[in-house]
């Protein structure tokens, strides 16, 4: 079969890994929030779209290149997330998980529809970085390469922060056992705010990356949140590293399904994976909590 | 207020409302009749959602999928020559049949996982309806010829019947052992299991019943609009509407979804009928307020007032 030639497989693999890096960045943030406060943030993909539309606006009004607007958008969304946690999520953290599900669902509805009111339902894109380059026989698209690499770098940076710094250690401590962490003198509320801010910033960065590779509209979030759920359930809920590998895996599987069957079916892969994993292990492959 | 007289009041208020709804087509013009039909549509869907999510606490973010399945099944059967009432009947049946395996698959999962699994269901429905071009005509949609359709009055009374049926179903479940077991699952599933409640069977039964109603409503909706396509049948806004209406009115109660549906629909009509995005944003804000400040919904305000009376027994519900 011609399709099975090695360079085509390599092509799909590289494309899948690059796309997967973006998923990983998004899903790691979602998992960070879940790990630290047992809240499933249904508005996570909308936070990403805030970043994407931010890049779109900055590009169209100030002509700012998305890679530069990253330096504005990421801190801005960090601050928004930090206070968002304080004003809203903090109120539902201690309540049953369904309360926080519904609260973040409400936030996602609000964000989507404000987006629709401002930007309409047309697809937008930020057309910078076009074309591709060759590595041997391998065709690599410039925007995808850039987005994938930056996503990867950011995820690794956050991981290093969690592993190497005192503050990161505090985040992990709260994630492991909030009450004990509190007794040890960690300001759990502050850590939660920091965590949400960080996860929101990761989503915002993913949004900027999204803006240079895909076209998007305010309703694009549902596809991504679905993928994130598949990823965090495969990788284990609350497990940062698991979400990272889960993201890469989903990217690759989607690329192969898209390459051999059709891109429309690739969209359904995440859902099928999700349902399959839940069937085999109702608490996810490496779940931290039996919710 | 003693429980008996509360039931009596419920009964009479219900009867009077029902009488008014029966008479309405003779007194109002088609615009308002259409509006009422949509209110009944939302009531029926909300009660269906109430049955699974309000009673058991398993929040379904994808119930609109059953509506979409019913809409397509109804529309297709109608074009294949079935009479309209049979098309509705089968729309409900097909949605319920689909819910059986789906329920067994997803309801083994605890709350949040179920919610996650359901979130994508509507989207999957839309993808299938778009890709299965041979049957659904894909994105072009299905247009129903006017000669096949029942009159507006017929559709009106059918939708009214569905809203009534769904409400009575919830009221009935509310009173019997099955409802008690569902609420036990909501309060503490492990404890319920321990005292011998067959949780999976109960949850799946509630789920299938709650899929039956949107299936029928979807079929009537297809006849009402006489045109459906993947994005109108599998409309995510309908999920939002169901959830907000029930929580706003009072989840797990009989009257909550009715009060919620009436309030939300009147607000929509008066304030933002022309701006669907603003309508949904407003629903989002409403949901947030209810979740944060009024977890029992509007019904709980009335109930608290009653419980503050000296003659009230604590913890009783109407």
Q: Is residue A232 one of the residues assigned to a domain?
A: no
Contact assessment for residue B43 and residue B50, using Cβ atoms and an 8 Å cutoff? no
CATH code, B3-307: 1.10.3470
Whole-angstrom distance, CA of residue A284 vs CA of residue B312 = 46
Is the pLDDT at B315 greater than 50? The verdict is no
**Least Cα separation, residue A42 to chain B (angstroms):** 9
Tell whether B274 lies on the interface with A, counting CB pairs under 8 A. no
Is the pLDDT at A129 greater than 80? The verdict is no
Residue contact B295–A99, C-beta within 8 A: yes
Q: What is the pLDDT of residues A184-209, one digit of tens each?
A: 888 889 999 999 999 999 999 999 99
Mean pLDDT throughout A178-184?
Answer: 87
Structure tokens given for A186 = 């960690």
Give me the residue from A103, A112, A222 closest to B123, CB to CB.
Answer: A222
In sequence order, what DSSP letters do the residues of A204-243 get, joined into one string? HHHHHHHHHHS-B-GGGHHHHHHHHHHHHHHH-TT-HHHH
Mean pLDDT throughout A75-97?
Answer: 90
H or E element at residue A133: strand A132-135
Mean pLDDT throughout B76-93?
Answer: 90
Give the pLDDT band of residue A119 (cuts 50, 70, 90): very high
Please give the model's pTM, rounded to 2 decimal places. Answer: 0.85
Using DSSP's 3-state secondary structure scheme, residue B273 falls into coil
Contact assessment for residue A242 and residue A30, using Cβ atoms and an 8 Å cutoff? no
Res A4: pLDDT: 57
Give me the residue from B106, B115, B284 closest to A113, CB to CB.
Answer: B284
Q: Give the residue from B104, B119, B282 with the most A CB atoms within 10 Å of its CB, the best one to mutate.
A: B119
Q: In chain A, how many domains are there?
A: 1
Q: Is residue A256 one of the residues assigned to a domain?
A: no
Say what angle helices B3-27 and B152-175 make with each other, to 10 degrees. Answer: 170
Whole-angstrom distance, CA of residue B232 vs CA of residue A50 = 26
Tell whether B281 lies on the interface with A, counting CB pairs under 8 A. yes
Tell whether B190 lies on the interface with A, counting CB pairs under 8 A. no
Express the helix, strand and coil content of chain B in percent, nearest 5 each.
80, 0, 20
Q: Give the CA angle between residues B61, B66, B68 to the nearest 5°.
A: 105
How many helices (DSSP H) and strands (DSSP E) are in chain B? 17, 2
Q: Is residue A249 one of the residues assigned to a domain?
A: no
Res A291: pLDDT: 34
Q: What is the pLDDT of residues A242-290, one digit of tens each?
A: 899 999 999 999 998 888 887 777 777 888 888 777 777 666 555 544 3
Q: Which of A89-93, A199-203, B258-262, B271-275 has the lowest mean pLDDT?
A: B271-275
Per-domain residue ranges of chain B: 3-307
Q: Is residue A234 one of the residues assigned to a domain?
A: no
Res A284: pLDDT: 56
**Residue A29 exposed, middle or buried by CB count within 10 Å (0-12, 13-18, 19+):** buried
H or E element at residue B67: helix B64-79
Q: What is the pLDDT of residues A28-76, one digit of tens each?
A: 999 999 989 988 899 999 999 999 999 999 999 998 999 999 999 999 9
Q: Give the residue from A33, A89, A91, A105 with the most B CB atoms within 10 Å of its CB, the best one to mutate.
A: A105
- E runs forming strands in chain B: 142-143, 227-228
Contact assessment for residue A248 and residue A18, using Cβ atoms and an 8 Å cutoff? no
Per-window interface: B 49-78 vs A, CB < 8 A: 57, 59, 61
Tell whether B195 lies on the interface with A, counting CB pairs under 8 A. no
Res A290: pLDDT: 38
- Provide the CA B64 distance to its chain's centre, in angstroms: 9
What interface predicted TM-score (ipTM) does this complex get? 0.84
Give me the residue from A108, A225, A268 closest to B124, CB to CB.
Answer: A268
Q: Is residue A172 one of the residues assigned to a domain?
A: yes
Helices (H), chain A: 6-37, 44-62, 66-84, 90-92, 97-119, 142-164, 166-176, 178-183, 188-213, 221-235, 240-260, 263-280
Question: What is the domain extent for residue A162?
Answer: 24-220
Using DSSP's 3-state secondary structure scheme, residue B318 falls into coil
Q: Is residue A225 one of the residues assigned to a domain?
A: no
**Least Cα separation, residue A94 to chain B (angstroms):** 12
């Amino acid at each position: 079969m011609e399709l099975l030639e090695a360079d085509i497989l390599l092509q799909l693999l590289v494309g899948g890994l690059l796309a997967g890096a973006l998923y990983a960045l998004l899903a790691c943030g979602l998992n960070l929030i879940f790990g630290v406060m047992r809240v499933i943030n249904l508005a996570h993909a909308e936070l990403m779209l805030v970043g994407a539309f931010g890049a779109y606006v900055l590009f169209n009004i100030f002509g700012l290149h998305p890679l530069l607007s990253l330096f504005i958008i990421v801190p801005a969304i960090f601050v928004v997330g930090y206070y968002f946690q304080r004003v809203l999520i903090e109120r539902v953290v201690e309540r049953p998980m369904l309360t926080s599900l519904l609260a973040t669902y409400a936030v996602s509805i609000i964000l989507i529809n404000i987006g629709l009111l401002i930007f309409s339902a047309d697809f937008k894109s930020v057309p910078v970085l076009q074309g591709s380059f060759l590595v041997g026989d391998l065709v690599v698209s410039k925007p995808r390469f850039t987005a994938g690499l930056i996503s990867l770098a950011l995820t690794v940076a956050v991981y290093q922060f969690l592993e190497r710094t005192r503050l990161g250690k505090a985040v992990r401590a709260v994630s492991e056992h909030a009450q004990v962490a509190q007794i040890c003198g960690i300001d759990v509320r502050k850590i939660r705010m920091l965590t949400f801010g960080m996860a929101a910033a990761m989503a915002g960065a993913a949004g900027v990356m999204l803006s240079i590779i895909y076209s998007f509209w305010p309703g694009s979030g549902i596809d991504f949140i679905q993928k994130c759920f598949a990823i965090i359930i495969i990788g284990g809920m609350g497990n940062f590293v698991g979400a990272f590998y889960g993201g890469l895996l989903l990217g690759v599987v989607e690329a192969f399904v898209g390459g051999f069957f059709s891109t429309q079916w690739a969209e359904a892969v995440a859902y099928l994976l999700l349902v399959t994993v839940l069937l085999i292990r109702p608490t996810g492959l490496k779940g931290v909590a039996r919710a | 207020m003693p429980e008996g007289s509360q039931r009596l009041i419920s009964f009479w208020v219900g009867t009077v409302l029902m009488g008014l709804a029966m008479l309405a087509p003779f007194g109002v013009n088609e615009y308002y009749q259409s509006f009422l039909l949509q209110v009944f549509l939302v009531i029926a869907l909300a009660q269906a959602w109430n049955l699974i999510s309000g009673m058991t606490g398993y929040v379904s973010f994808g119930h609109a999928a059953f509506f979409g399945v019913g809409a397509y099944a109804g529309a297709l059967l109608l074009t294949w020559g079935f009479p309209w009432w049979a098309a509705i009947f089968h729309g409900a049946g097909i949605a319920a049949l689909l819910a059986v395996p789906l329920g067994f698959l997803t309801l083994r999962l605890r709350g949040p996982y179920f919610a996650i699994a359901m979130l994508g269901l509507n989207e999957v429905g839309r993808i299938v309806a778009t890709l299965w071009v041979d049957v659904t005509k894909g994105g072009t949609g299905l247009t129903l010829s006017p000669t096949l359709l029942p009159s507006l009055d017929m559709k009106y009374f059918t939708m009214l019947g569905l809203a009534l049926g769904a409400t009575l179903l919830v009221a009935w479940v509310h009173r019997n052992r099955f409802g008690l077991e569902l609420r036990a699952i909501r309060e503490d599933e492990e404890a319920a299991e321990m005292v011998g409640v067959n949780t999976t069977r109960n949850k799946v039964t509630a789920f299938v019943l709650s899929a039956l109603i949107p299936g029928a409503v979807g079929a009537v909706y297809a006849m009402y609009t006489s045109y459906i396509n993947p994005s109108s049948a599998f409309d995510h806004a309908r999920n939002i509407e169901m959830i907000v209406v029930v929580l706003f009115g009072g989840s797990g109660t009989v009257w909550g979804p009715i009060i919620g549906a009436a309030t939300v629909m009147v607000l929509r009509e008066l304030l933002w009928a022309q701006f669907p995005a603003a309508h949904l944003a407003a629903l989002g804000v409403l949901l947030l307020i209810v979740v944060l400040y009024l977890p029992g919904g509007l019904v709980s305000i009335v109930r608290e007032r009653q419980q503050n009376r000296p003659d009230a027994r604590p913890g009783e519900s109407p």
